[in-house]
Amino acid sequence: MKYLITGGAGFIGGHLTESLLADGHQVTVIDNLSTGSLRNLDAVAANPNLNFIQGDILNFPELDNIVAGSDAVIHLAAAVGVELVVKDPVHTIITNVHGSECVLDCSAKHHKRIIIASTSEVYGKSKNPEFCESDDLLIGSPTFSRWSYACSKLLDEFYLMAHHRASGLPGTVVRFFNTVGPRQTGQYGMVIPRFVAAAIKGENLQVYGDGSQSRCFCHVFDTVQAIRGLINNNDSFGKIYNIGSRRSISILELAQLIIRQLNSKSEIKFIPYAEAYEEGFEDMQRRKPSTQSIKNLFGWEPRHTLEEIINDVAQSIEQ
């Protein structure tokens, strides 16, 4: 098959590209390298089935022809990371909304299979013990820029669903819950690579707030398998699927686990949210997905443990 991956030089995109190429597929990657990196494609750079194009989907005249020539589109290009979102909310909205509009319009025009990446952030301030795809969503006030990311990705979801209802677009939404693993950078606030890098250096692990907020972390290898299982599954058209681990851990406990597992001499330092991000910053207290929908669809479950994730991230950083 011929695949188009937008944002294919990003963290998830690079691993997905490797996986598809390993099975003999042809992959075209479009990435402007604003947050992605060619290093994520080093292992497959010489593969003749890879076509890398440095370009921005917001202004890329050849996008329509490339979509037309593809069998499936996986749209991963987005502004990501809480720190980047808070610092540049305008860029976040333009990239996530108008970029997705360009890709979805081309996909609808040529009736192409498309999967778009969304986020657990769309669940907003929900207090549910776990999040289900059919839940109502509670987004915070627009006076706080951190919610611009959630709103922009939610609009992407609505736009895909509108195309599906209007023309039968074979589209699917995936909501990622903290995908982590080798080659992920902590530059934009991703907590595990940030903690692991600090632990390796013996530096303080900076925990924002009181550390009681909890998250679930899914290995990128498991996320890639979930995406691949959805691509050719017609029953997933017009549906939304959570992709994530169901093991929940507080950020404080995560920091303690990383220090212990890596035999680090690092200590934990608490940083107020206002100092880390912006005054009045609102965090989600918990983010635990229900993954029953995707499990029922084709039996997907994450296979890698949190301890394996930490080891893989550490090995990647030390290389």
pLDDT confidence bin for 31, thresholds 50/70/90: very high
Burial 304-314 (b: 16+ CB within 10 A, else e): bebeebbbbbb
Residue 79 pLDDT greater than 80, yes or no: no
Any domain includes 194 = no
Structure tokens at 80: 């990501």
Catalytically annotated residues: 149
Q: What pLDDT is recorded for position 148? A: 85
**Residue ranges making up the domain that contains 80:** 2-179+219-245+288-302
In a domain, 88, yes or no: yes
pLDDT at position 145, please? 77
Mean of the per-residue pLDDT values of the chain: 93
Establish if 84 belongs to a structural domain: yes
Domain count, the chain: 1
Per residue in 274-303, pLDDT (tens digit) is: 787 766 677 788 899 999 999 999 999 999
Q: Is there a domain that residue 250 lies in? A: no
Residue 273, C-beta contacts closer than 8 angstroms, at least 6 positions apart: 208, 209, 281, 283
Facing residues of 19 across strands? none
Q: What angle do CA 69, 152, 244 make, to 5 degrees?
A: 80
pLDDT bin (cut points 50, 70, 90) of residue 84 is: low
Domain holding 99: CATH number? 3.40.50.720
Task: Summarize the confidence of residues 90-119 as an average pLDDT.
Answer: 94
Confidence (pTM): 0.94
**pLDDT value at position 86?**
67
Is pLDDT larger for residue 12 or for residue 281?
12
Top mean-pLDDT range of 77-81, 183-187, 195-199, 283-287: 195-199
Please report whether residue 51 resides in a domain. Answer: yes
Residues in the chain: 319
Average pLDDT over residues 150-163: 95
Mean pLDDT of 170-178: 97
Q: What is the mean pLDDT of residues 42-62?
A: 96
> Is 41:109 a contact under the CB 8 Å cutoff?
no
Residue 188 has pLDDT above 70, yes or no: no
Q: Is residue 125 in some structural domain?
A: yes
Q: Flag whether 101 is in a domain.
A: yes
pLDDT in tens, 86-96: 677 787 888 88
Does the residue 210 lie in any domain? no
* pLDDT of 133 strictly over 90: yes
